[in-house]
A = this chain, B = another copy of it.
Amino acid sequence: VREAIAELAYRPDALARGMRTGRSRAVGFVVSDISNPLFGAIAAGADRVLQEHGYSLVLAVSANDPDREAEALALLAQRRVDGLILSVADERRTSLPQHAAHFQATVLLDRRVQGVQADTVRSNHTLGMYEAVDRLCALGHRRIALLAGSRGQLPSRERVRAFRRRYRTVVGADPDDALIRTGEMSRDSGYLGTREILAAQHRPSALIAGNNQLFVGALGAIKDLGLSIPGDVSLVACDDSDAARLADPPIDIIDRDPSQMGEIAADLILGRIADAAASPRSMQLPTRFVQRGSVARVGKAGRAYER
């Protein structure tokens, strides 16, 4: 019999097995943009763990559009995926609550959705933001702009909150709300926001970009305005990237470990599949500020790389 198996290269049909057992051994992965290396790294981490356990990752790109997200969820439900790893496009407009019952395991990536019982993997965006504000304020920065991203995503709100709170603690006054801008998590939004902010008469001395896309836009705008980093403006980006490492000067970042996020998400999924009744788990990973050379003492224009 074993000979025949080997000879015919027989492999059990996963569809039939899935139909009979009620488990497809597939996990959906819904993200706004898989060409963003942050999500790519998360996917890679998750896939590594899932592959080891004979599970596959079914990708679905939402393009930050709640309607496409809804279609993706419907399609994945139809495919009877056992689990779902989801970076909700907009917490205020997500259709997850309508679909959640179809997935026996759901892990939310850095999001909070009302009325859905799900495990979560979260980054502690507060930690790194505190360190960044400490550093900027210690170097004399008081007018600090924040490209915060969308209000429909938890990390954006968390960063704004941490920024305000720490600024108040350190400086003893509230930050200028006009310098805190919400908007799309896109290059264009980062570019336009930065141009507006830096064209104002009373220009901020530092800028924090809320994700890698906003950072790309911000850096482009700073270049186009002919400003120098950190002489004219100090810059901090959230999440690491080749562009941040290789820019001149290299850009200070609020860093985290995205592939670990993916691995933990996969672990949570597998754990919940094994024990559907377990109480919801929430894992939190740290973020940390990394100095590189894009932040200088305020008012010392031209003296780059000061530490």
Contacts and interface: CB of A to CB of B under 8 A. Distances in A.
Interface of A: 9, 11-16, 18-19, 24, 26, 29, 33-37, 39-41, 43-44, 47-48, 51, 54, 56-61, 63, 68, 71-72, 74-80, 98, 212, 216, 219-220, 223, 241-243, 245-248, 259
Contacts of A35: 37, 40-41, 43-44, 259
A35 to B, nearest CB: 4
A41 B33 CA distance: 9
Contact of A11 (B36, B54, B77, B219): B77
A203 B63 CA distance: 46
B11 A78 contact: yes
With most chain B CB atoms within 10 A of its CB, the pick from A26, A56, A80 is A56
A259 B13 CA distance: 32
A189 to B, nearest CB: 15
Contacts of A242: 212, 216, 241-243
A90 to B, nearest CB: 19
Contact of A19 (B15, B37, B43): B15
A219 B242 CA distance: 10
A77 B8 CA distance: 14
A251 to B, nearest CB: 9
Contacts of A223: 246
A246 B216 contact: yes
Nearest to A213: B242
Contacts of A60: 47, 51, 56-57
Given A14-B80, A243-B246, 11 more contacts: A12-B78, A14-B78, A34-B43, A35-B41, A37-B37, A43-B61, A47-B59, A51-B60, A241-B242, A242-B243, A248-B248
With most chain B CB atoms within 10 A of its CB, the pick from A47, A51, A242 is A242
Q: Which 6 A-B residue pairs are closest in the complex by CB-CB distance?
A: A35-B40, A242-B243, A248-B248, A35-B41, A14-B79, A11-B78
A227 B216 CA distance: 25
Given A15-B80, A242-B216, A243-B242, A51 B61 contact: yes
Nearest to A55: B75
Contact of A34 (B24, B47, B71): B47
A181 B13 CA distance: 45
A72 B51 contact: yes
B40 A36 contact: yes
Contacts of A98: 9
B56 A56 contact: no
B58 A58 contact: yes
